[in-house]
Amino acid sequence: MNRLVTALVPSTAAALVRMLGATLRLRIEGSDALVPFWSGARPLIYCVWHGRILMVPWLNTRLRRTHAAFPVLSSRSCPEFCTYCPHRITAPYRARTPGNVLAEIEEICGAPIPYDVDWATFDDKTALNFLDNMSCHRLNMALRVICSDDMGKEAVRDGLKKVRLVNVKTEGEKTMSFEGGVLEMHVPYAMGGSTLISDNEIRALLLTKL
């Protein structure tokens, strides 16, 4: 059954996108600044908001007639599987490795910061799937802002010694603290992104106590 679904869903989705595309009009605005990049074969990164992603393959096909084509890469680090996102069709969720997470935080701060994960509390796969997206990624987003200069990097290296992550069952149990150099977050990971501690909240706490 799974093989049948895997075989049918991409082609069915592609057919639906083509049908929808046939009813749309395409208007290009503000492309003058991009022409030098296209003509010089210089690299560009195009950003598309989630609700528009599904039409990007169709848009690429249309633009190939008069403009340079570009590759489309779907997200690999989102376990949400929103109904409007082609990520749920094109590829399964692939979480980052622990080594990749640690390498990113070292690149941001200029020094390694260890994680202490209470694995015993992660008793279901759903919670594990959201661990990186809801905490590691959010923390790194917060640290990128704080560590935008040498003073910020030094403050983080001197003050943040460990990150401790604990899975809880309900949103009422969600807490975050930063004491003795340990940033500790208790998050109901299995409940999904609606219960995450945002990067703004993490940054505000660190800036208050670093």
Q: Looking at the predicted structure, is the pLDDT value of residue 206 above 90?
A: yes
Q: What is the mean pLDDT of residues 26-36?
A: 78
pLDDT of res. 164: 96
Confidence at residue 108, expressed as pLDDT on a 0 to 100 scale: 93
Backbone angles phi, psi at 179, to 5 degrees: -135, 140
33 backbone dihedrals φ, ψ, rounded to 5°: -70, -20
Q: What's the rounded Cα separation, in Å, for the pair 182 and 179?
A: 5
Structure tokens at 15: 């057919």
Task: Return the pLDDT at 51.
Answer: 66
Query: Crossing angle for the helix pair 150-159 and 137-146, nearest 10 degrees?
Result: 130
**pLDDT digit string, tens, across residues 176-202:** 999 999 999 999 998 887 788 999 999
CB neighbours of residue 179 within 10 Å: 8
Q: What does the pLDDT average to over 114-134?
A: 88
Return the pLDDT at 101.
85
Confidence label for 1 from pLDDT (cuts 50, 70 and 90) = low
Q: Which of the two residues, 86 and 105, has the higher pLDDT score?
A: 105
Tokens at 60, concatenated: 């690429």
In tens, the pLDDT along 128-172 reads 888 887 788 889 999 999 999 999 999 999 999 999 999 999 999
pLDDT at 146: 95
Average pLDDT rounded to a whole number, residues 56-60: 72
**Among 57, 35, 39, 156, which residue's Cα sits nearest to residue 105?**
156
Tell me, what's the pLDDT at 90? 55
Domains in the chain: boundaries: 2-90, 98-209
Instruction: Give the CA distances from residue 83 to residues 17, 22, 45, 52, 133, in Å, rounded to whole numbers and listed in that order.
Output: 14, 21, 24, 12, 18
Q: What is the DSSP letter of 77?
A: S
Is the pLDDT at 94 greater than 80? The verdict is: no
